[in-house]
């Protein structure tokens, strides 16, 4: 118990350091860009002067989310929902411990739940950093008072940090997709549907309170690409216990804002990208989720055309297939660089280094050898990407991700993961493209049996909605 409490204190300290990223950075740029940035900041100001922060409503939103989910669990007779003053007392006295629930539940559903706490505050006048505190508070109340199980260290962290990532991205996407000026027809329907999926809390408030709610959350119109894609994915591992054959998959790519706009200063999630792929296979589900977002940064002007943004970025990575599982949350410094060549061609380079607030790894090797659950810990990651774009014709991307994790709960002590990805995409029409993606995955652990070498090949068709 004492070791678990000490570990959670350490991780909470790391979380506090993560929050220091709210400190703004100076900017360098042309006068015109500075004026545009100041105008954008005025429009983005939170709380808006005419509305301010609504603390009772923000708190009530998070509590309503907890009550609704707990009430449903109670009605369907879930044992963990049978809480009482006795279970509350036990949870407080026993303190938190590590939780080995289902990988998808812990790393995706918990952040999705946390996004409801976050949005409840964000939609009622609170900033990104302030809303992060609401997400942590909501997670604490759930873990200690809405479940009879011992509170989980990893859930307290992932629900808040992942909830802020899911919440802010979903908040901005929902506003953009549900805008009354969004195109109608099939495209408008799919965007509205996507808005409900990514942020039901915002959409429910908009449905209940109507235009006054939408008006208080109005953001400057920002460019957003919503690309759906589908195709076949083939994952291979040399171990004979794996069956490797192609599976159909569906996915989406969302790009919000741009580091190449007229702005010079950037705040939380002024631009971000989210890539999601999921295999359509009930027996062997597979998910890829990669997301990165600016937290604060400034633009550099290099010569007449080249631009770069230096800043602090939040990262959320999740991979799960029949061979391996990986999840990582964190933040750290990085840059985006764009070098145009002529009218149609450009080279884009990005590089991010971030500290993991919490990383989780798992594989079937662990379960086969020692019946071990997922491995949890902290560490760091480096991500680099290079993209050549010939607009209207094709693009070629190369990406390298490296993760190093020191284990806090699990069978081994150290894990490293290398992921190489190359993607070739050809544009066949203004809104349509076809692509080929090759990925190589390597994991090493000092335990030995978790070592894995695997590769996958995706073919897909993409369409911009």
Q: Say if residue 229 is in the same domain as residue 305.
A: yes
pLDDT of residue 243: 58
- Per-residue confidence (pLDDT) for residue 111, from 0 to 100: 95
Lowest-confidence range among 211-225, 340-354, 356-370? 356-370
Secondary structure (H, E, C), 273-316: EEEEEEECCCCCCCEEEEEEEEEEEEEEEECCCEEEEEEEEEEE
- Claim to verify: residue 271 and residue 179 sit in the same structural domain: no
Question: Within 13 A of 168's CA, how many CA atoms are on the CB side?
Answer: 30
Give the per-residue pLDDT at 330: 94
Query: What CA–CA distance (Å, rounded) separates 246 from 248?
Result: 7
The residue that leads in pLDDT, 243 or 457, is 457
| Residue 163, number of CB atoms within 10 A of its CB | 28
Residue pair 293/170 in contact by the 8 Å Cβ criterion: no
As a whole number, mean pLDDT of residues 314-320 equals 93
- Name residue, tokens 């991010």: 352
User: What's the rounded mean pLDDT across residues 57-63?
Assistant: 94
Strand partners, 458: 233, 437
* More confidently predicted of 363 and 417: 417
Please indicate, yes or no, whether residues 231 and 134 belong to a single structural domain of this protein.
no
At residue 285, the pLDDT reads 67
Measured on CA atoms in the order 83, 88, 93, 99, is the torsion positive or negative? Answer: positive
247 closest CA partner among 268, 277, 207, 215: 277
In a domain, 140, yes or no: yes
- Is the pLDDT at 50 greater than 50? The verdict is yes
Helix axes 55-75, 128-141, angle to 10 degrees: 30
So what's the pLDDT on residue 411?
66
| Of residues 279, 405, 391, 320, the one with CA closest to residue 354 | 405
397-409: average pLDDT: 93
pLDDT at 49 over 60: no
Mean pLDDT of 349-367: 83
Question: How many residues are there in the chain?
Answer: 465
- In this structure, is residue 3 part of a structural domain? no
Per-residue pLDDT band at 13 (split at 50, 70, 90): very low
Same domain membership, residue 283 and residue 172? no
Last residue within a domain, chosen from 163, 196, 216: 216
Per DSSP, 145 falls in state I
pLDDT value at position 230? 95
pLDDT score for 236:
77
Query: Number of folded domains in the chain?
Result: 2
Tell me which residue range forms the domain holding 367.
224-464
What token pair was written down for 437?
Answer: 């993606």
Whether 12 is in a domain gets the answer no
Kindly tell me if the per-residue pLDDT of 136 is higher than 70.
yes
Instruction: Tell me: pLDDT of 250 over 50.
Output: yes
Closest-CA residue to 422 (of 436, 434, 433): 436
Domain boundary among 191, 216, 241: 216
pLDDT at 48: 57
377 and 449 belong to one structural domain? yes
Q: Of 54-63, 217-226, 415-424, 435-444, where does mean pLDDT reach its minimum?
A: 217-226
Integer angstrom CA distances of residue 24 from 84, 255, 266, 282, 304:
45, 23, 9, 46, 26
Q: Is the pLDDT of residue 32 over 60?
A: no
Residues 291 and 316 in one domain: yes
Whether residue 158 is contained in a domain is answered as yes
Main-chain dihedrals φ then ψ at residue 345, nearest 5 degrees: -105, 145
Residues 6+ apart with CB under 8 A from 407: 375, 376, 377, 413, 414, 415
* Residue 29 belongs to a domain: no
Answer for the pair 11, 358: CB distance below 8 angstroms, yes or no: yes
With respect to residue 124, please indicate whether it lies within any of the assigned structural domains.
yes
pLDDT (tens digit, 9 = 90+) per residue, 381-393? 999 999 999 998 9
pLDDT at 370 over 80: no
**Average of pLDDT values for 183-189?**
73
Predicted local confidence at residue 39, as pLDDT: 42
Query: What pLDDT band is residue 188 in, cutting at 50, 70 and 90?
Result: confident
Mean pLDDT lowest for which of 64-73, 94-103, 432-441? 94-103
Considering the domain architecture, whether residues 258 and 382 belong to the same structural domain is answered as yes
> In angstroms, rounded to a whole number, what is the distance separating the alpha carbons of residues 32 and 383?
32
Res 405 pLDDT > 70:
yes
Residue 35 within a domain? no
Q: What is the mean pLDDT of residues 256-278?
A: 92
Report whether 246 contacts 232 (CB < 8 A).
yes
Name the percent of the chain lying above pLDDT 90. Answer: 56
Cβ atoms 414, 448 nearer than 8 A: no
Same structural domain, 343 and 274: yes
Portion of the chain with pLDDT greater than 70, in percent:
82
Residues 296 and 151 in one domain: no
* Contacts for 200 with CB less than 8 Å, ≥ 6 apart: 116
Q: Look at residue 371 in the predicted model and tell me its pLDDT.
A: 47
* Segment among 18-27, 41-50, 92-101, 158-167 with least mean pLDDT: 18-27
Q: What is the pTM of this model?
A: 0.85
Output the CA–CA distances (angstroms, integers) from residue 97 to 18, 153, 178, 294, 432, in the order listed: 22, 5, 40, 32, 48
Q: Write down which residue in 155, 181, 216 finishes a domain.
A: 216
Does residue 231 carry a pLDDT above 90?
A: yes
């Amino acid at each position: 118990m004492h070791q678990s409490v000490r570990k959670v204190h350490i991780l909470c300290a790391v979380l506090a350091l993560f929050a220091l990223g709210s400190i703004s950075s100076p900017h360098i740029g042309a006068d015109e860009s500075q004026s545009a940035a100041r105008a954008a900041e005025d429009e983005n100001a939170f709380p808006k002067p005419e509305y301010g922060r609504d603390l009772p409503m923000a708190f009530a939103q998070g509590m309503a989310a907890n009550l609704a989910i707990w009430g449903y669990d109670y009605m369907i007779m879930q044992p963990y929902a049978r809480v009482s003053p006795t279970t509350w007392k036990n949870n407080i006295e026993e303190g938190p411990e590590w939780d080995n629930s289902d990988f998808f539940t812990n790393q995706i559903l918990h952040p999705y739940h946390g996004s409801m706490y976050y949005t409840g505050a964000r939609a009622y006048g609170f900033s990104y950093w302030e809303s992060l505190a609401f997400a942590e508070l909501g997670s604490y109340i759930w873990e200690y008072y809405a479940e009879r199980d011992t509170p989980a260290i990893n859930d307290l962290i992932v629900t808040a940090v992942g909830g802020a990532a899911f919440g802010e991205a979903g908040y901005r996407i929902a506003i953009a997709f549900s805008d009354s000026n969004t195109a109608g027809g099939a495209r408008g329907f799919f965007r509205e549907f996507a808005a409900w999926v990514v942020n039901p809390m915002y959409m429910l408030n908009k449905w209940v309170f109507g235009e006054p709610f939408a008006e208080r959350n109005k953001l400057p119109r920002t460019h957003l690409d919503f690309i759906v894609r589908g195709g076949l994915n083939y994952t291979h591992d040399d171990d004979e216990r794996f069956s490797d054959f192609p599976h159909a998959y569906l996915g989406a790519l969302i790009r919000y804002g741009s580091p190449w706009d007229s702005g010079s200063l950037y705040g939380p999630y002024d631009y971000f990208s989210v890539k999601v792929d999921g295999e359509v296979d009930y027996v062997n589900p597979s998910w890829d989720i990669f997301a990165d977002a600016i937290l604060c940064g400034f633009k550099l002007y290099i010569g007449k055309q080249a631009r770069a943004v230096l800043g602090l970025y939040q990262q959320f990575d999740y991979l799960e297939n029949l061979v391996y599982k990986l999840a990582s949350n964190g933040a750290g410094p990085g840059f985006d660089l764009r070098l145009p060549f002529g009218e149609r061609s450009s080279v884009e380079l990005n590089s991010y280094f971030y500290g993991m607030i919490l990383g989780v790894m798992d594989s079937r090797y662990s379960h086969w050898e020692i019946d071990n659950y997922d491995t949890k810990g902290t560490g760091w990651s480096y991500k680099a990407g290079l993209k050549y774009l010939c607009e209207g014709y094709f693009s070629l991307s190369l990406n390298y991700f490296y993760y190093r994790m020191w284990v806090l709960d699990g069978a081994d002590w150290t894990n490293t993961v290398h992921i190489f990805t190359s993607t070739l995409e050809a544009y066949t029409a203004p809104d349509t493209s076809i692509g080929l993606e090759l990925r190589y995955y390597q994991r090493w652990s000092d335990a030995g049996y978790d070592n894995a070498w695997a590769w996958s090949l995706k073919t897909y068709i993409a369409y911009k909605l």
